[in-house]
Amino acid sequence: MEETYIDSLDPEKLLQCPYDKNHQIRACRFPYHLIKCRKNHPDVANKLATCPFNARHQVPRAEISHHISSCDDKSCIEQDVVNQTRNLGQETVAESTWQCPPCDEDWDKDLWEQTSTPFVWGTANYCGNNSPASNIVMEHKSNLASGMRVPKSLPYVLPWKNSK
């Protein structure tokens, strides 16, 4: 029995195609060949049924019930079902030991340290004290070429997004 089981796992073992008896296919390529040959032989494919325990088993429709009752792969599936039902009562969910890592962030402090002026592209703020409570007026220095200025506001419709 064990020798037969090992032999069935050999990827180089040649298997006969159920669609074309002249095809001898290596076991490792057999599932791919079945798909291809099933498409090429639809008349034969309609006469065969697929085993619910192993898709490699293509059996004549009239013999499928006999095959299901005697399929070697059925015992593997049944054993898995038995093992799952046994383990179902034994499984316990472990308590989580995860703890939140310590947080060094202080959003209130960060907010206090931020500058009170909004970011404007093309300008730079130069001021020694960035606290919002400071009464120092910040000087805006433009990095744009002379004669150019930053627009006060953007247009509602951008010219390149015009959908006319």
45 occurs within a structural domain? yes
Task: In whole angstroms, give the CA distance from residue 87 to residue 106.
Answer: 48
**Residue 133 belongs to a domain:** no
Task: Assess if residue 95 is contained within a domain.
Answer: no
- CB atoms under 10 Å from CB of 31, counted, come to 11
Phi, psi of 145 (to 5 degrees): -65, 155
Question: Domain range for residue 51?
Answer: 14-88
133 and 116 Cβ atoms separated by less than 8 Å: no
pLDDT (tens place) for every residue of the chain, 164 residues total: 445 555 667 889 999 999 999 999 999 999 999 999 999 999 999 999 999 888 899 999 999 999 988 888 887 777 777 777 777 666 566 788 888 888 888 888 777 776 566 667 766 655 544 555 444 445 556 666 777 777 777 666 666 666 55
Flag whether 68 is in a domain.
yes
Residue 39 near residue 22, CB atoms below 8 Å: no
The answer to whether position 35 is within a domain reads yes
Q: Is residue 49 part of a domain?
A: yes
Q: For the chain, what is the domain count?
A: 1
Could you tell me which residues are beta bridge partners of residue 26?
14
Beta bridge partners of 142: 123
Evaluate whether residue 102 is within a structural domain: no
Cα–Cα–Cα angle for 12, 57, 80, rounded to 5 degrees: 95
Q: What is the pTM of this model?
A: 0.46
Task: Please check whether residue 127 lies inside any domain of the structure.
Answer: no
